[in-house]
Amino acid sequence: MSSIRHILLVAYRDFMQRAKSRAFLASMIIIVGLVAAVGPLMAIEMRDAPAYDIGTIGTQPSNLQPALTEAARAFDRNVSLTPYDSIEAAEAAVDEGTEDVLIIDGRELVWNEESSLQLASIITAAIHGVNRQEIIADLGLSSEEATRLLAPPPLDTRTLNEPDPEAGPKRVAAYAGSFILYISILMFGQFVMMGVMEEKSSRVVEVVLSRVRPHELLAGKVVGIGVLGLVQLIVLGGAALLTVSMFDIADVDLGALSLRVLMWIVFWYLLGYGFFSVVYATLGATVSRQEDAQSVGMLPVILLLPGYFISLMALENPEAALARIGSIVPPLSPLVMPIRASLIEVPLWEMLLSIVLVLALTYLLIRLGGRVYKGSILKLGAKVRIRDAWRAAGQ
């Protein structure tokens, strides 16, 4: 039987074993449910504009209510006015939190503790607008004269470069992609490590190795669980797109989300997973107990975190020096490069160099990790040092 067939058989076994597990199915249902629930919750939040409760006492400007409603509309808020007969009752309502602010005679604002800049701006704009209208009426200005006074014609403007209509959706997709890449690589890399450790501790690996070589077993696990991770990535992406398409969330235009952005996320997930899964599998072969797995599992996390943080920096400035370096140098590049490629046109030489470096390092890691895997996979008991596993593989 060929080596490729061995790898595919191991991959199929690990894929089905994980896909049928209750833990995986439950996590998929929960995650997809949470993603699907975000849309309705955000749509309800945006549809039901929160209202400011405003108390009034004394003589107020005429038409204050419609002026406040118009000013609050600019902030997607509503206002509710409640008149009071006494200053004591009005201040008590503010102190108890029933009212957000109290307007006294259209000149003074009374807050409980700290003032709200947004609410203060709404009230100030409304009262000033009403006062201007009264002054215009007193001066006897016509509507055309009042318009020229209050709203002069805007200056002519032009731009040297047309704005990118995909800029907003690209940024949303890049941010979501950065988070999904980090979580997916972390989750399924740990699946690989736990699978290797469980087979080693239960001695199932001895039976498997009687039919396949250690590097075939290692490659099969990486491929099988990697395909499962890709399936989950596609399912989560589909749930997110469905949620965005059903509800108007943050003005995200799905039509502006190019296929290129989504393809970059999937492509770099495969590269990133391939690299980190070999690290996880190699480390998993050196331990047999859960306690030891938690300690050795921190090494891939330490390698992942800098890339994730730099990818967030690349969201703000994809041309920054640190973002450019991080998008080229592995193991940072699987998390940083898809962000830059989603937002800007990355030079071809940078893209090719990044891909070549991560593939070369992954190949080198497979060769080195395969030897460590071979030397440690059959050793039970205490944690095996990488140096001892390396020596054992050469014997």
Q: Give the torsion through C-alpha atoms of 224, 175, 315, 347, to 10 deg.
A: 50
Written as six digits, the tokens of 81 are: 């006015």
- pLDDT tens sequence across 238-284: 776 676 666 555 445 554 455 666 777 788 888 888 888 888 888 87
Q: Give the torsion through C-alpha atoms of 85, 88, 90, 96, to 10 deg.
A: -150
Asked if 275 and 330 touch (Cβ cutoff 8 Å), the reply is yes
Amino acid letter, 21 = S
Per-residue confidence in pLDDT tens, the chain, 395 aa: 578 888 888 888 888 888 888 877 887 888 777 777 766 665 555 555 568 899 999 888 888 888 888 888 888 788 989 999 889 999 999 999 899 999 998 888 999 888 888 888 899 888 888 888 777 777 777 767 666 666 666 777 767 777 666 666 677 777 777 777 788 888 888 888 887 777 777 777 767 777 787 777 778 888 888 888 888 877 877 776 676 666 555 445 554 455 666 777 788 888 888 888 888 888 877 877 777 777 788 888 888 889 889 988 888 888 899 999 999 998 899 889 988 887 888 899 999 999 999 999 888 887 777 777 777 766 666 677 777 777 766 66
Written as six digits, the tokens of 89 are: 């009752």
Domains, the chain: 51-150 (3.40.190.10), 165-394 (no CATH)
**pTM for this model (two decimals):** 0.64
Asked if 350 and 328 touch (Cβ cutoff 8 Å), the reply is yes
| Three-class secondary structure assignment of the chain | CCHHHHHHHHHHHHHHHHHCCHHHHHHHHHHHHHHHHHHHHHHHHHHCCCEEEEEEECCCCCCHHHHHHHHHHCCCCEEEEEECCCHHHHHHHHHHCCCCEEEECCCEEECCCCCCHHHHHHHHHHHHHHHHHHHHHHHCCCHHHHHHHHCCCCCCCCCCCCCCCCHHHHHHHHHHHHHHHHHHHHHHHHHHHHHHHHHHHCCHHHHHCCCCCHHHHHHHHHHHHHHHHHHHHHHHHHHHHHHHHHCCCCCCCHHHCCHHHHHHHHHHHHHHHHHHHHHHHHHHHCCCCHHHHHHHCHHHHHHHHHHHHHHHHHHHCCCCHHHHHHHHCCCCHHHHHHHHHHHCCCCHHHHHHHHHHHHHHHHHHHHHHHHHHHHHCCCCCCCCCHHHHHHHHHC
- pLDDT tens sequence across 110-169: 998 888 888 888 998 888 888 887 777 777 777 676 666 666 667 777 677 776 666 666
Residues with Cβ within 8 Å of residue 269, at least 6 apart in sequence: 180, 181, 184, 185, 229, 230, 233, 334
